[in-house]
Chain A
Amino acid sequence: MYNETVMRHFLKPKFAGELKGADAVGTVGNPICGDKMSVCIKVKAGKISAIRFKTFGCAAAIATSDMVCGLALGKTLDAALKITRNDVSEALGKLPPIKEHCSNLAADALGEAIFNYYSARGEKIPKALAERRAHLACASCEAHQCAPKA
């Protein structure tokens, strides 16, 4: 069902666990639907200097969490915000279609972390991020209102 890249990130994630002294954390998903992801970041000179995730979820949820951390590490916040769900999926060499909807939330968790970072510092939220947040929702289970409250 899953390809080798997905399995590698699922079985041996590099970014799993606690990030001590994180500047911000972003959480999306809902355990009722089977997936809840948190991405923690440290920011130094406008760049993501450290990143880790904590995820409750299936293999795809864990693999996408790990991949988004790898993609974002070292990037400026602006560049990190440009990482999309599709980028994560492409980097993993595609997920099974059924998992694209429900388990590929990691990019959104990263976006939430960056939003919370800006908010905590009283900085202006970039327009693209504000727009993206307006559409934030767990596509598979809107009924559960997985989208974070603004």
Chain B
Amino acid sequence: MSKRVYLDNAATTMVDPAVVKALLPYHSEKYGNPSSLHAFGREAARALEESRATLAKVLNCEAGEIVFTSGGTESDNLALLGVAALAKTKRVITTAIEHPAVLKTCDYLEANGFEVVRLPVDRYGIIRMADLERALSKEAAAVSVMHANNEVGSVQPIDAVAKLCASKGVPLHVDAVQSFGKLPIELSKAPISLLSVSSHKIHGPKGAGALFVRRGVKLSPRLLGGGHERGLRSGTENVSGIVGFAKAAEIARRNRVKNCRKMSLLRDRLAKRVLAANKGAWLNGPTGVKRLCNNANFSFPGIEGEALVLRLDAEGIAASTGSACSSKSLKPSHVLLAMGLTPVQAHGSLRLTLSRFTTAREIDYAAGKIAQVVKELGGFSNVSREEAMRRV
């Protein structure tokens, strides 16, 4: 095995060398605590506030509206639990296809006396505005809708969602972890109250993220202590991580349109080749502008996803699956099930996610190996395509 092709960029990304260069000094020389009075501390505090200003610029918001966190999960938790703790109405609205960071937090709220409404999605993994409208006919403490789905890349009509929520006076939280750096987010225009972003999905380091908290939105902190981040997130800031995050965000913004066009062309090339070479396979999720530029998600009826991923791994290709057999819970992807796939079909799913560093050669190599591995596994599968397509 000589070739290594990384097509799991929805899981995490390579840190951009320019980002590494920007953050390294904050480990070795500029290692002060931003809360300290002395020069070391002031140096770190300056870097922290510059990073905040950079991120604010990328998100089109004010620097004072950024709360740095450890990543997407913490941002989602802070947003939902923080709003819920102060809520008079014990009712939240979310979707069936959220990331576990939102879903499990909603489960927790449910176990603690909240009513949780989980909006269904259509076969492409997109919510219907009529469902949200109906759900909003009753009072709610918050609505949480992801911008782009992590498994199938479906892009939610977030501007319409934001307008509707604003018209009802219900704060909207958006998990933008997957879309950040790929889709434009205009917080100066869209009436979004809270928005989660993460560093390691955009070629920044792991362990850094942020929650946008619109001025006037009241949150109860989850981490108590020294009162960092305007009291909303105590704990010494991960300065190097945040510096890297801001650098990564800046780079992502600079070349966003060009990179997204490149990724979507390569993604379409991959889809075309995979679908042409594998009879019976299909693409899960929407196409065109309703799909995130770097996401492809296939189903191969009669093939099990974990076996597929591990055989591809043996060929040097990194991918992921919604199959239950690869999950700790042994449950197939909640996203694919919500889209109407049967468990058998969800078992046969393969997610390939590109980055701006992905090349056409890598895509062609992967497409060839996928066809080979699917053929091998299909050669001794005892579940026929017909059986896999059965509805019960």
Contacts and interface: CB of A to CB of B under 8 A. Distances in A.
Interface in A46-96: 53-62
B334 interface: no
A17 B379 contact: yes
B380 A59 contact: no
A150 B161 CA distance: 54
A35 interface: yes
Given A31-B383, A53-B380, A59 B310 contact: yes
B279 to A, nearest CB: 17
Interface in A1-53: 2, 7, 10-11, 13, 16-17, 27, 31-38, 53
B325 interface: yes
Interface residues of A, number: 30
A118 B313 CA distance: 42
Contact of B381 (A7, A55, A59, A60): A55
A87 B136 CA distance: 57
A119 interface: no
25 contacts: A2-B310, A10-B307, A10-B311, A11-B314, A16-B379, A17-B379, A31-B347, A31-B387, A32-B342, A32-B344, A34-B325, A34-B347, A36-B383, A53-B380, A54-B381, A55-B381, A56-B304, A57-B304, A58-B306, A58-B307, A59-B306, A59-B310, A98-B328, A98-B330, A102-B330
Contacts of B137: none
Interface in B25-83: none
A42 B164 CA distance: 67
Contact of A32 (B306, B343, B379): B343
Interface in B299-358: 302-304, 306-307, 310-311, 314, 323-326, 328, 330, 332, 342-344, 347
B388 interface: yes
A103 interface: yes
Given A10-B307, A140-B330, A56 B383 contact: yes
Contact of A11 (B306, B311, B328): B311
User: 3 tightest CB-CB pairs across the interface, nearest first?
Assistant: A58-B325, A56-B383, A54-B382
A10 B388 CA distance: 22
Contacts of B306: 34, 58-59
Contacts of B303: 56
A62 B347 CA distance: 15
Interface string B103-147: 000000000000000000000000000000000000000000000
Contact of A103 (B302, B314, B325, B387): B325
Contacts of B387: 31
A58 B330 contact: no
Contacts of A102: 325, 330
Contacts of A37: 382
Nearest to B310: A59
Given A2-B310, A36-B383, A56-B381, 13 more contacts: A11-B311, A17-B379, A31-B347, A34-B343, A35-B304, A36-B382, A54-B381, A55-B380, A56-B304, A57-B325, A58-B307, A58-B323, A102-B325
Most buried by A among B304, B310, B343: B304
